[in-house]
Amino acid sequence: MQRILPGLATLIGCLLAGEWLAARIDIGLPGSVIGMLLLLLLLGGMALAGRPVPDSLNRTSDALLSVLALLFLPAAAGVFFLPEEIVRQWLPIAAAMVFGTLISLVISAVLLHWMLRRSERDD
């Protein structure tokens, strides 16, 4: 447990900093999204400095990813209580699903291409 505490503190710190910024700056983004952007900036800065991701953050991330499906259960269960809303807003929901999937595929392809080029160059 002690091996993941610093990583968990980092994630919670980014979340709290994002919530604090969201309360102070009205930009229309939830604090959790701002916190993820702060985490991205932190990890990007570490990568640019040539520093690896801390082991505790890796362990914490792996632990959370292993139960990721369970974290979606409350949201998925909530959908069953809003059938009228889903029927009324089916087009925006479908558009978000299609465009979100396409954006994910494009980003994954670009990252894979970049990583393959980088690994060929390193070899």
pLDDT tens digits for range 14-53:
999 999 999 999 888 999 999 999 999 999 999 999 999 9
Same domain, 12 and 35: yes
100-109 tens-digit pLDDT: 999 999 999 9
Same domain, 89 and 115: yes
Tokens of 108: 């994954």
Distance CA 38, CA 34 (A): 6
Same domain, 60 and 2: yes
7: containing domain: 1-66
Same domain, 12 and 58: yes
What is the pTM (predicted TM-score) of this model?
Answer: 0.65
Question: Which contiguous run of DSSP H or E holds residue 65?
Answer: helix 55-66
